[in-house]
Amino acid sequence: MDIARIGVVGAGQMGGGIAHVCALAGYEVLLTDVSRDALAAAPGAIGRDIGRQVAKGAVTEARKAEALARVTTTPELRDLGACDLVIEAATEREDVKAAIFEGLVPHLAPGAILASNTSSISITRLASRTDRPGRFMGFHFMNPVPVMQLVELIRGIATTQETFDACAGVVERLGKTHSAAEDFPGFIVNRVLVPMINEAAYVLHEGVGTVRSIDASMKLGANHPMGPLELADLIGLDTCLAIMEVLHEGLGDTKYRPCPLLRKYVEAGWLGRKAGRGFYDHRGEGGPVPTR
């Protein structure tokens, strides 16, 4: 399969990051979002992020300009019908993703590949909602996309070898490494990572440690580059909760029960960095301050 144009659904942190790395790798990118404000802001955000790479000497100004010229935005989902590969990077809700695929499928060429950046939802089930389960993949980037080197590739039960090979070729062209994961809740990374974050929330909930002591303990005691609560704020507490709910429901084990404190933060709208507050308050100029 010859992939030259990639569509990205969702212009938020993940979708913008995917568009960023695809454009730098030489792909023509068509980016869409239901929010016109998010769509309008995306090219500027991508430009600033590539600018950081320029400042570090990793990318030239000429390459930055070429990459930005390859990114086109559109408010119309049907415009992505001209793409060879479409990667959905919308919110981690199955009904939202299914609606996107339903609206997109009638406009796709027969050979186009559909992919989802879902971090935990069944690829087989998502694929079954389309007309091309054989050409459907889980294409899970890590956050932040331009920095993290791993991409999980998850086959649904019907995904063909040709589809997998084509997606693996895209990952290689992006300069990243893929890991093949089976289609079970959470796949590999989030099956291990998010329960650790959830357990850190329980440790906080039970008063065993404070936000700072929990994060410091894991950074200094386990050599983690970022504490679990700090990482949760980066990922988004709503995303962490959604993944835990998928694990709890899909695997039926009480060890995956979402922490009540994590749920309380989400109900309050304290979703982490993107909301200004989570386990830390990010709104001040002096740096993040623990909220507990």
Which residue positions form the known binding site for NAD(+)? 10-15, 33, 92, 97, 119, 143, 274
Cα–Cα distance, 163 to 1 (Å, whole number): 8
Catalytic pick from 116, 122, 152, 198?
A: 152
Within 10 angstroms of residue 252's Cβ, the number of other Cβ atoms is: 9
Structure tokens at 174: 């992006």
Catalytic pick from 120, 190, 198, 248?
A: 190
Catalytic pick from 20, 122, 140, 248?
A: 140
272: left (phi over 0), alpha (psi -120 to 50) or beta: left
Structure tokens at 147: 């920095």
236: left (phi over 0), alpha (psi -120 to 50) or beta: left
| Residues whose CB is less than 8 angstroms from the CB of residue 112 and which lie 6 or more positions away in sequence, other chains included | 81, 83, 84, 85, 86, 132, 135
Give the residue ranges of DSSP H helices in the chain. Answer: 13-24, 36-55, 61-69, 94-104, 123-128, 161-173, 189-205, 211-221, 228-235, 237-251, 260-267
Catalytic pick from 116, 117, 119, 120?
A: 119
Our answer to whether residue 245 is catalytic in this structure is no
- CA-nearest of 134, 136, 84, 131 to 103 is 131
Binding residues: 10-15, 33, 92, 97, 119, 143, 274
Cα–Cα distance, 292 to 289 (Å, whole number): 9
Within 10 angstroms of residue 193's Cβ, the number of other Cβ atoms is: 19
Our answer to whether residue 179 is catalytic in this structure is no
Please give the distance of CA 12 from its chain centroid, rounded to a whole number. 9
Our answer to whether residue 224 is catalytic in this structure is no
- Phi and psi for 252 in degrees, rounded to 5? 65, 25
Our answer to whether residue 152 is catalytic in this structure is yes
Would you please indicate which residues are annotated as catalytic (active-site) residues? 119, 140, 152, 190
